[in-house]
Structure 1
Amino acid sequence: MLFDTLSEALADIDSLQNYNLDQLIKHYGISFQYSSSLPNRVYGFSLPYTNTMFINSNTEYPERIKAHELIHCLVDDSANPLIESTYVSNTKIEGRADRGGFYLMIMDYLNLAGIESSQFNILKFCEQYHVPEKYVYTAGLVANQVLDISLDDDDFIAN
């Protein structure tokens, strides 16, 4: 654990003005690797106590998992592995990692797309980052909060 709260971690990242996940992992000294030996239903896991994270090399959505596990390494102090999989329930810790991960991805998207907050499109974002359908609403809630925008139901429907 490098930070006491998610807010502290995100404030530190904001001060860097760099949301590239690979560069953030390197900056914070986190050991990272892809693994082909994880079961298919385990997308990734982290060991915050040792600042180590693994991503299943067979996962369809490595960027979302990478962002999620990075947040675990920054704000969780567990000596036990924290696993992102279809087996893990929606706990407080997992929800925080999802929110922080989406924050990083949204900010990276704005930088790469060269757009302002008011131009943010949740569906384009989710397509670009291969966000699974079950996480689209969570990503939208994070976007509403961090970009100070107001997405409504119509923004979640493809034209």
Structure 2
Amino acid sequence: MSVEKNDMQIAVFSISNQDFGIDIVSVSEIIRLEKITPIPQAPAYVEGVINIRGQVVPAINLHVLFNTRVGERNDSNRVIVVETGQNKFGLIVDAVSEVRKVVPDMIKPAPPEISIDQYYLKGIILDGENLIVLMDVNKLLPEREMQLLKDMEQPA
């Protein structure tokens, strides 16, 4: 697969039967969902923390953050570990389906009616009959929430 200068590669994952994508540049690894240690008084979307090779990393439940129905956990669940500037956190997703190349004309702007409060939307990818919501993990949470996640990270 050749990647042109303006092309991007995205990790495609699902939440409640909807496909989402994030730029692979932000992804440090994709792991199986393992033991999560709850943190008292953390925001509702922070399910807890996980240990990734000696580093304590907050685990964000995207079902809670996106206000979608939470399905039962199964073997397909994954944690996409992302790094944004100074932050590192895990995104709990239903499944990761692929890493794929996206050319710029596949990305359409999100309709203004839905993107007003959805700062994390980079656009919608038209893939045949499927739509993939392209997220910007740097804007997934407000800055003060990102600082809270940073404060949760520490060596185990």
> Could you say which structure has the greater relative contact order, defined with CA pairs below 8 angstroms and 6 or more residues apart?
2
**Shorter-normalised TM range:** under 0.3
TM-score when normalising by structure 2: 0.27
Higher strand share: 2
